[in-house]
Amino acid sequence: MILSGLITAAYMLVFKQRATYGRYGKDAILNWLAVPARLAWFIQEAPSLLIPLGVLLFDPVVKTNYVNLSITLMFAGHYFHRTMIYPFLIKGGKPTPFHLMFLGFVFCIWNGYIQGFYHTLYADYPSGYMTRFTSILGILLFFIGMFINCHSDHILRNLRKPGETGYKIPKGGMFEYVSGANFLGEIIEWFGYALYAQTWPAVAFAVFTISNIGPRALHHHQWYLQKFDDYPKNRRALIPFLL
């Protein structure tokens, strides 16, 4: 997963290749074969919700281990939002090319299996682990990142008034500092998750997330600068004041 993430990042940055969904969907090879945005998000994200919950339901041992349980519920909680809430809040989202939805679905099976099974059945934590500084910091970062991510999505969904079309400059929240505020939130979220879990599967997912949506934030920033002459010049792409 780490290797695939780094290869993806290199491909997107070196060759300036955009992930062809959303505003870049028209550039997809099979853009004529697309799935409605709500259905695509629901289908592709569902495995990362259902697999960890399935492990919790059918394995009674993990229910007594609060660290393993909390890590799994953090992961499943994110994907509960992504599967059961986020898709149904989308307002007129652009269809997702079928092949990208399928790749997302396969990844969520892979990642849901790795995170769900490892953190419920195999990860071993000592007593007092949840009260360590790194554990508390990791949990705080996870929920701060989730809030930034959800709040940024809310801002993006409500940019246009009823009947309006076209793109607008997002304002408010972390968008005052970066173009990819929603991406920044998700990166913080999974960095906190990895800091709390301190396992290779969690680290791998954090690296993959940064590698996948970090370049997308850079592409969005460049797109905004090209499209809007009045785009805030002090706004960065992903990291406030730096990048």
pLDDT tier at 206 (50, 70, 90 boundaries)?
Answer: very high
**Is residue 174 pLDDT above 80, yes or no?**
yes
pTM of the model: 0.91
- Per-residue pLDDT at 92: 74
- Per-residue pLDDT at 62: 57
Which among 99-103, 186-190, 221-225, 229-233 has the top mean pLDDT? 186-190
**Is residue 211 pLDDT above 80, yes or no?**
yes
The whole-angstrom separation of Cα 147 and Cα 14 is: 32
- Residue 136 neighbours by CB under 8 Å, 6+ apart: 130
Secondary structure (DSSP) of 96-127: EEHHHHHHHHHHHHHHHHHHHHIIIII----T
Write the DSSP symbol of residue 93: P
Average pLDDT rounded to a whole number, residues 201-229: 93
From the list 190, 156, 157, the residue with the least C-alpha distance to 174 is: 156
Chain segment 44-91, per-residue pLDDT in tens: 999 999 999 998 888 766 555 889 999 999 999 999 999 999 999 988
Chain segment 91-148, per-residue pLDDT in tens: 877 888 888 899 999 999 999 999 999 998 889 999 899 999 999 999 999 999 999 9
- Per-residue pLDDT at 21: 60
The whole-angstrom separation of Cα 158 and Cα 192 is: 28
**Is residue 25 pLDDT above 90, yes or no?**
no
